[in-house]
Chains A and B, each alone.
Chain A
Amino acid sequence: MVIDLDRCTGCEACVVACHAENNISTVGEDQAGRGRAKHWIRVERYYEGEFPDVKVKFMPVLCQQCGDAPCEPVCPTFASYHTEEGLNGQVYNRCIGTRYCANACPYNVRFFNFYNPQWDKPLQLQLNPDVSVRSVGIMEKCTFCVQRIKAGEIQAEAEKREVRDGEIQPACVQSCPTRAMVFGDLNDPNSEVSRMARSNRATKLLGELGTQPKVTYLQRDSANVREDA
């Protein structure tokens, strides 16, 4: 995945779409205040300077699907493991809730179900049947909408063709109004994702830790940043 920070407006449509697509419950104001909210993708904001010279830097942070993920070897039940496609898979059934993986993740993108999730009626009708609902004591995180990936692959196989570039879009990518997020196959050098990842603005978040994240961030082009007069 590539996220172009120059295009990101911080609108958080991706956050809402992710909640809707992946059956993530809200936890209420009180619990959110205690750090129990489960935003698989979040927009981080950093403010510099004092009013009226405030500059804001923001970026969407989601599971980086690290190639060398620190969350994977520490799970005692193999609930967190590396799939053959290169994703960091989270198997809800195997999770016993030691929360070691969440401690090991440097990006803090893993979330825990402290209580059984609840949806006020009639919102439970909106649940996505393709995604399981996690019960109390289970870790969860962004899966790159693996249900959509699988659906796209199955469709392509049924039609006896390859998956087209841009055909599979996770909910966040699909809902981004400025097309700041791009998703595709990094193994294909001609895909849009691969081309954008080769940009000279490309950086990795916390790359120095050696996690080999699969999400590339394109830094804001300084020519486009408005300087105060």
Chain B
Amino acid sequence: MPQITSVYGLFPGPHSAERGMNALRDAGVPGDKIVVLAPEPFEEYEFAQGDRKTAMGWIAVGGGIIGAIGGFVLAWYTQTAYPLVTGGMPIVASWPTGIVTYELTMMGAIIATLITLLVGSRLPNWKPKLYDPEVSHGKVLIGVVEPSDDSRANLEDRLRRAGAEKVKATGRFATS
């Protein structure tokens, strides 16, 4: 079990999760201490909107440009390093160079997307962290990390009133 101290509630669906989020905000919990874990993206809901900004699209374009340059250099270099005439074509044949450049452009974009995804979502991360297997069973986890000791009861009560099926605590608050 994780060593992180937290209090969280497991909500049966996105509407109740939304209420839980609002309850925590009304309690004055700062945004960076609220944890949300969901089994689905829930794009349309407010609670799932954290950490949204990403430059992934632009990075993919950048990766494509790097791939294009790499492809062009590869094509140009391999044709001039050992120049052999074939079929009356010029040594640096434009159409084949274009095709290889295009393919490596797409390869660059794909690799850039993949790397940005892993880095941006901080995966792989096998270290112990806050998680509850109930999340993959369909529950939304809304909670607070490192709450102050005296706010614990208040938070648990708010989560329950917002509709949490279960309210749990971990770390030093863990009961068993």
B125 located at the interface, meaning its Cβ lies under 8 Å from any Cβ of chain A in the complex: no
Contact B88 A68 (CB under 8 A): yes
B126 located at the interface, meaning its Cβ lies under 8 Å from any Cβ of chain A in the complex: no
Contact A73 B84 (CB under 8 A): no
Please, how many angstroms separate the alpha-carbon atoms of A81 and B84 in the complex? 6
Please, how many angstroms separate the alpha-carbon atoms of A73 and B93 in the complex? 10
Q: A205 → chain B, closest Cβ, in Å?
A: 18
Q: B31 → chain A, closest Cβ, in Å?
A: 57
A72 located at the interface, meaning its Cβ lies under 8 Å from any Cβ of chain B in the complex: yes
Query: Per-position contact with A for B22-62: 1 when CB-CB < 8 Å, else 0?
Result: 00000000000000000000000000000000000000000
| Interface residue total, chain A, C-beta cutoff 8 A | 13
B119 located at the interface, meaning its Cβ lies under 8 Å from any Cβ of chain A in the complex: no
| Interface residue total, chain B, C-beta cutoff 8 A | 8
Query: Per-position contact with A for B65-88: 1 when CB-CB < 8 Å, else 0?
Result: 000000000000000001011111
A107 located at the interface, meaning its Cβ lies under 8 Å from any Cβ of chain B in the complex: no
The interface residues of chain A lying within 8 Å CB-to-CB of B88 are: 67-69, 82, 212
Q: B80 → chain A, closest Cβ, in Å?
A: 13
What is the interface of chain A mostly: helix, strand, loop, or mixed?
loop
The interface residues of chain B lying within 8 Å CB-to-CB of A72 are: 85-87
Please, how many angstroms separate the alpha-carbon atoms of A81 and B82 in the complex? 12
B123 located at the interface, meaning its Cβ lies under 8 Å from any Cβ of chain A in the complex: no
Please, how many angstroms separate the alpha-carbon atoms of A70 and B87 in the complex? 6
The interface residues of chain B lying within 8 Å CB-to-CB of A80 are: 86
B82, B86, B87, B88 — most chain A CB neighbours (10 Å) = B87
Please, how many angstroms separate the alpha-carbon atoms of A82 and B87 in the complex? 7
Query: Per-position contact with A for B90-128: 1 when CB-CB < 8 Å, else 0?
Result: 000100000000000000000000000000000000000
Query: Per-position contact with A for B156-171: 1 when CB-CB < 8 Å, else 0?
Result: 0000000000000000
B82, B84, B89 — most chain A CB neighbours (10 Å) = B84
Our pick among A68, A70, A78, A212 for the contact of B84 (Cβ within 8 Å) is A78
Q: A66 — nearest CB in chain B belongs to which residue?
A: B87
Q: Which of A55-95 contact B (CB under 8 A)?
A: 67-73, 75, 78, 80-82
The interface residues of chain B lying within 8 Å CB-to-CB of A75 are: 86
The interface residues of chain B lying within 8 Å CB-to-CB of A71 are: 87
The interface residues of chain B lying within 8 Å CB-to-CB of A78 are: 82, 84, 86
Please, how many angstroms separate the alpha-carbon atoms of A73 and B128 in the complex? 57
The interface residues of chain A lying within 8 Å CB-to-CB of B84 are: 78, 81-82
The interface residues of chain B lying within 8 Å CB-to-CB of A73 are: 86-87, 89, 93
Q: Which of A76-122 contact B (CB under 8 A)?
A: 78, 80-82
Q: A109 → chain B, closest Cβ, in Å?
A: 16
The interface residues of chain B lying within 8 Å CB-to-CB of A67 are: 88
Q: B96 — nearest CB in chain A belongs to which residue?
A: A73
Q: Which of A8-23 contact B (CB under 8 A)?
A: none
Q: B87 → chain A, closest Cβ, in Å?
A: 4
Q: A172 → chain B, closest Cβ, in Å?
A: 25
The interface residues of chain A lying within 8 Å CB-to-CB of B85 are: 72, 81-82
Please, how many angstroms separate the alpha-carbon atoms of A73 and B86 in the complex? 5
Q: A83 → chain B, closest Cβ, in Å?
A: 8
Q: A86 — nearest CB in chain B belongs to which residue?
A: B85
Q: Which residues of B contact A (CB under 8 A)?
A: 82, 84-89, 93
Q: Taking A68-B88, A69-B88, A72-B87 as given, write out 15 further A-B residue pairs in contact, using a Cβ cutoff of 8 Å, ordered by the A residue number.
A: A69-B86, A70-B87, A72-B86, A73-B87, A73-B89, A73-B93, A75-B86, A78-B82, A78-B84, A78-B86, A80-B86, A81-B84, A81-B85, A82-B84, A212-B88
| 5 cross-chain pairs, A with B, having the tightest CB-CB distances, nearest first | A72-B86, A73-B87, A68-B88, A82-B85, A72-B87
